[in-house]
Structure 1
Amino acid sequence: MGLSFLLAVAVKQRGMKRSRRRRRRRRRREMQGWVGPEIPLDLLIEILARLPAKSVMRFKCISKFWSSLLCSSFFCNRFIMMLPSSPRLYMSLLDQANYSKSVLLSSAPNPAASHSSIVFDQDLTIREMGGYYLRAVRGFIGFTVFKKEARIYNPSTRQLITLPAVESNILAQVDKYNISYFICYDPLKDQYKVLCTITVLSEEGMLTIRSERWVLVLESGGSWKRVAKDFHPHFPDPLELTMNGVLYYLAWTDYTTCVLVSFDISSEEFSMLQVPRKPGDVLPMLGKWVVTIDYGGKVAVFDYTYLKETGTVDLWVVEDWRKQEWSMKTLALKPSQMHLVADNRLKPKGAMLKGKIILVPLKLVSPFYFLCYDLQTNDLKKVDIKGIPNRWFRKQAKSFDLEFMDPSENIKYLET
């Protein structure tokens, strides 16, 4: 009786195992011919646009379709739209004795200029990147190298391109000149452009100014094109502001006349407004400290000439460009904050920060910091910068630049 029962149990278990194996084989055969529902293209784009840049770059290897999709202008623009609005802080460190040893540092994503400290925890340096005058537009960073050559670097794709030289008659005639590059984006034509300004002063200084303006569209087969040949000669400031498809920068037409220049990125047309002054202000160019900023969605000139002496700054806001109408207000630092500006000469940066501007010491010394000036609340705050390699503080021949960039990633490859 006991043996028969055990045999029956064993036979039943063996039959159950065979049955499970048959079911598994049947399911495998069914799965081989099964095709899952296809993800709609618009949903696939929305999913991919929310992934980190590194993941998107890896997915280009899946197939030709994925590579074509992820390289398309539509997807690249959608990817940028999905990025968080908070900027990232970048710092370029230029070794003047050996450009190839220059460094590019970045903070963690989404730092706030109002924090008490920001840490550079990412080294984005690649070979032959080195340059000065850091420019940042939609994830692309522009450098001026050897005071003439321009390069553009994308930290997300690690693409580095050297722009062709400008074939200007001015450069062939003189040894001393000023050249500035401004990288910008045309939202109407979905194009990246570079504006180059070339200025030559007479031996007597600014008594005679010659200037040229050139534009390069960053596309396959693009070449430099001279624009605004009859525009008034001027000596530009290297700091710019871009708002609503227009690039603005300050310039000087002589020793005492400061102007605000606008460049319509789409039409490539220039315009100019003379910057007002307070009665009795006759300081020449070398005595004025001004920069363009975004003030509540309006273009403004931030005059901090007397910040160190009196603790005041003047804001000249463009109310109507066509009518040449300006408004002016004066901000005064709190007495308890005067010590922050009394010890160092400062230069303004952070034109991309709405309602705020950062004031950076001219010298790279440890401990390093910048001052965040909130123009809405009229409050000044010190922000410590950490993560700069100590060897840079000891270097003799060095330069540096600091800039917030928003947004900070772009998966597009430029063609030239």
Structure 2
Amino acid sequence: MVRLSLRVAASAMLQKRERMKLRRRRATQRTENRVAPQIRIGRAMQGSITWVAPEIPLDILIEILTRLPAKSVLRFKCVSKFWSSLLSSRYFCNRFLSVPSQPRLYMSLLDLYHNSKSLLLSSAPSTCPSSSSSLVFDQDLTIRKMGGFFLRVLRGFICSTVDLKPHIYNPTTRQLVILPAIQGYDILAAEDRYDILYFMGHDPVNDQFKLLCTITSMSNNDMQKIKSERWVLVVEAGGSWKRVAKESPPHLPNPFELNMNGFLYYLAWTHMYTCVLVSFDMRSEEFNMMVQVPRKAGDEMVPRVKKMVIQVDYGGKVAVFDYTYILKSGTVDLWVLQDGRKEEWSRKTMVLQPSQLHLLNGNHRLIPKGTTLKDKVVLVPPNLVAPFYFLCYDL
């Protein structure tokens, strides 16, 4: 009887130990199940101890994702609903655009007679140091039947004009949006010759993309009688055109713009011989500045059709790149605006290298392109007839 009692007691103790082990095992499994949905770096086994890495903080996760290619980021939207919401948010998109990356060069080849033959080409960033002097175009991003004489590139979007309508294209998602034309403007094509230009800008306070449209008409080439209207459209669902700055002086804009700190700058003509720098506030939708562009002593009065100028970003300041005499003497004047209210300018004269002057032979005119490249101005001939050259001037 005593032995049987001892055996029963020993069996009860073993069963109690097994139940305790089972409880501990179930508790460990519940803990792992709670940790499983979290983002893990790795997992290591040391005997019977399981180590689970802590969750990656959200700010570090965003920093990692912003350094990936755009195509990879788009693929990660299918990981979960949280990732899809995060990668589609405005905060992440703005952070992704603010991270420096290797610039991509876009080239629009426009067929004036057959628009269906127009092409939009894109150069693939080169990873080989020895190929830095050449360009390789990415066939996957070649877009047929799309082109424009003036391409506006801003924060990952491309704006062009086809048949007087603005087209906005996202090269990452391959999405093309055709915005409506303006209805009800006062300048009629039957009465005057008129020009329509679309400029794309960004309001950093409200995080909105906007289009500024200028409609200008002239009674004759001497610009004695000039009319102009300005319209603004917010690029969002349900956006519509509204007329702004009705009281601002009439002017004929140059077709190239500069975006800096929520302001849009462009050069314009108020008279045949008067060129001004115009500033437009994308948030208030008002014109803040019209400063006359100077000329150095000894320069003759050059009419609009022969004056070759463009505004550029020069170390965070707005500057005017005057290349009127580059074909004649190989010189360029850079006018830096020091104070817009006092109309104070400083000038630097740059000289083209003598060994490069032969590149200009046969070119009766050069037009600026690539104004979004930092500290660089690209000059190209308007018609690509072999042999032709592009000039990239590093300021």
Q: Same fold (TM over 0.5)?
A: yes
The answer for unaligned runs of 5 or more in structure 1 is: 1-25, 376-416
**Is 1:79 the counterpart of 2:96 in the alignment?**
yes
**Is 1:141 the counterpart of 2:158 in the alignment?**
yes
The answer for unaligned runs of 5 or more in structure 2 is: 1-24, 40-54
**What residue number does 1:352 align with?**
372
**What residue number does 2:105 align with?**
89
The separation in 2 between residues aligned to 1:170 and 1:98, in whole angstroms, is 31
Structure 1 residue 306, shift from structure 2 partner: 1.0
* RMSD between aligned residues: 2.6
Alpha carbons of 1:204 and 1:336: their partners in 2 closer, same or farther (altered >3 Å)? closer
Alpha carbons of 1:105 and 1:122: their partners in 2 closer, same or farther (altered >3 Å)? same
Q: Which moved more, 1:176-185 or 1:330-339?
A: 330-339
Alignment size in residue pairs: 346
- The counterpart of 1:321, out of the listed 335, 340, 345, is 340
- Check the 8 A contact 1:99/1:131 in 2, yes or no: no
**What residue number does 1:332 align with?**
351
- The counterpart of 2:282, out of the listed 255, 265, 269, is 265
CA displacement, residues 239-285 of structure 1 (integer Å, 9 cap, x when unaligned): 11122221111111111111111111222221201111234521111
Structure 1 residue 299, shift from structure 2 partner: 1.1
Alpha carbons of 1:297 and 1:41: their partners in 2 closer, same or farther (altered >3 Å)? closer
Aligned pairs (5 A) from 1:223-302 = 223-270=240-287, 271-279=289-297, 280-302=299-321
**What residue number does 2:383 align with?**
363
**Is 1:194 the counterpart of 2:211 in the alignment?**
yes
**Is 1:208 the counterpart of 2:225 in the alignment?**
yes
- The counterpart of 2:136, out of the listed 119, 122, 131, is 119
Q: Give 1:273's aligned amino acid.
A: V
CA displacement, residues 207-239 of structure 1 (integer Å, 9 cap, x when unaligned): 111001111111122111211111010000001
Q: Give 2:293's aligned amino acid.
A: V
**Is 1:159 the counterpart of 2:178 in the alignment?**
no
The separation in 2 between residues aligned to 1:83 and 1:329, in whole angstroms, is 29
The separation in 2 between residues aligned to 1:236 and 1:353, in whole angstroms, is 21
CA displacement, residues 52-90 of structure 1 (integer Å, 9 cap, x when unaligned): 211221222344333222111011112112341x32110
Structure 1 residue 126, shift from structure 2 partner: 4.4
**What residue number does 2:10 align with?**
none
**What residue number does 2:13 align with?**
none
Identity rate, percent: 63
Q: Which has the higher contact order (CA 8 A, sep 6+)?
A: 1
Alpha carbons of 1:325 and 1:51: their partners in 2 closer, same or farther (altered >3 Å)? same
Q: Give 1:107's aligned amino acid.
A: S
CA displacement, residues 312-349 of structure 1 (integer Å, 9 cap, x when unaligned): 11111111001111112222223222212233232222
- TM-score for the superposition, normalised by structure 2: 0.80
Alpha carbons of 1:79 and 1:354: their partners in 2 closer, same or farther (altered >3 Å)? closer
Aligned pairs (5 A) from 1:2-17 = none
Q: Which moved more, 1:269-278 or 1:42-51?
A: 42-51
Alpha carbons of 1:116 and 1:46: their partners in 2 closer, same or farther (altered >3 Å)? closer
Secondary structure (helix, strand or coil) at the match of 1:323 reads coil
Q: Which moved more, 1:153-162 or 1:305-314?
A: 305-314
Aligned pairs (5 A) from 1:337-416 = 337-344=356-363, 345-366=365-386, 369-375=389-395
**What residue number does 2:193 align with?**
176
Name the larger-Rg structure: 2
Structure 1 residue 50, shift from structure 2 partner: 2.4
Q: Which moved more, 1:168-177 or 1:312-321?
A: 168-177
Alpha carbons of 1:101 and 1:337: their partners in 2 closer, same or farther (altered >3 Å)? closer
Aligned pairs (5 A) from 1:40-59 = 40-59=57-76
The separation in 1 between residues aligned to 2:306 and 2:212, in whole angstroms, is 27
**What residue number does 2:81 align with?**
64
Alpha carbons of 1:327 and 1:204: their partners in 2 closer, same or farther (altered >3 Å)? closer
Structure 1 residue 184, shift from structure 2 partner: 1.2
- TM-score for the superposition, normalised by structure 1: 0.76
Q: Give 1:149's aligned amino acid.
A: K
